[in-house]
Amino acid sequence: VKFRVSKNWTKEHGYKPNQISLLKYNGYWIQLPTKFVGNDSRYYYFESNVSSFSVFAIAVTRWDNFPLNVTDE
């Protein structure tokens, strides 16, 4: 899955690209490995591999030890 996040939004909220993750819902939220792949004047671009269809969310992960599973198994 490829997605983008507005640079203006991240700047307004004080977030950095390394805090952006793709989450998958499978009865609970799973944080998927998310790769920052580039940017242009308006957006940051990301990629994440998914193994199945689901409900997804783009999220800011800014807390250590946040209770998310980190595998899609």
pLDDT, tens only, 52-61: 888 999 999 8
Tell me: pLDDT of 12 over 90.
yes
d(CA 61, CA 40): 22
* Per-residue pLDDT at 69: 53
Q: Note the pLDDT tens digit of each residue in 14-51.
A: 999 999 999 999 898 889 999 999 999 999 999 999 88
User: 3-state DSSP call for residue 11?
Assistant: helix
Per the listing, tokens 């899955």 go with 1
> Of 29, 9, 30, 19, which Cα lies nearest the Cα of 72?
30
